[in-house]
Amino acid sequence: MKIPYRKRNLAQGKAGEEEFIKLRGNKFVRRATPDEDMNEHWDIEDSEFGKVDIKSGKRSSHKGDVDFTIWWELKTVKRPPNYKSQPGWGVPNSVSRLIAVRAEDCFYLIDPSDIYEDLQSRCSFDNKGYFCLVTRPNRGDLITTLPLDYVQKYAKHKVVVDNNDLQ
């Protein structure tokens, strides 16, 4: 039986959060409330990093395997359908936070305010590949993909994933 994409993505996101929490051990402080998660765009509070929005490993295509493609959200999906899109998790907001992006062997932690202005100048619907703006019909979202070297360049921290420690 195939799992619907939305359920699969939600489960994958929760697994990414659990993985990060386990890696952080006693530095984990608390989870965000549902309101903080949805409106302030963060998942956990960490005693070293502060508020962190955790992004699990992603696929370049819904039908593919996790290949650690780095999707960056600039506008959220409209929910319910007539609701106006809001700035996405990849946009600076009133909360000081880091985005933990899962790569193959680690999480890179990026402050969205460090890259937002640069993304505004780099991203375009005319681009192909990285920094190409993508939106889906009737969804109101706006996303792009980032190359790993760009994420590495702007990362403030790196949390190494040792798969042996996670078992």
CB 105 within 8 A of CB 161: yes
Query: What distance separates the 2 farthest-apart alpha carbons in the chain?
Result: 46
Whether residue 166 lies inside any domain: the answer is: no
Cα(81)–Cα(137) distance, rounded to whole angstroms? 11
Task: Say if 116 falls within a structural domain.
Answer: yes
Residue type, 110: I
Mean pLDDT along residues 137-146: 88
Spatial distance between the Cα atoms of 114 and 128, rounded to a whole number of angstroms:
23
Tell me if 79 is assigned to some domain: yes
- Give how far the C-alpha of residue 163 lies from the chain's centroid of Cα atoms, to the nearest Å: 21
Q: How far apart are CA 119 and CA 122, in angstroms?
A: 5
The Cα 20–Cα 18 span in angstroms is: 5
Residue 165 lies in a domain: no
- The contacts of residue 36 (CB under 8 Å, 6+ apart) are 42
- Short-list 150, 107, 139, CA closest to 16: 107
Q: Do residues 90 and 34 touch, judged by C-beta distance below 8 A?
A: no
149 domain residue, yes or no: yes
- Does residue 166 surpass a pLDDT of 60? no
Name residues whose C-beta falls within 8 Å of residue 29's C-beta, 6 or more positions apart in sequence.
44, 45, 46, 47
Specify if 152 maps to a domain.
Answer: yes
Tracing tokens 């193959």 back to the chain, one arrives at 104
Task: Work out how many domains the chain is built from and give that number.
Answer: 1
For residue 99, the enclosing domain spans 5-160
Q: Does the residue 167 lie in any domain?
A: no
Asked if the structure places residue 135 within a domain, the reply is yes
Q: What is the DSSP letter of 27?
A: G
Tell me what pLDDT residue 132 has.
95
Statement: residue 164 has pLDDT above 80: no
Place of tokens 């549902």: 34
pLDDT tens sequence across 85-114: 789 999 999 999 999 999 999 999 999 999
Write down the pLDDT at residue 167. Answer: 43
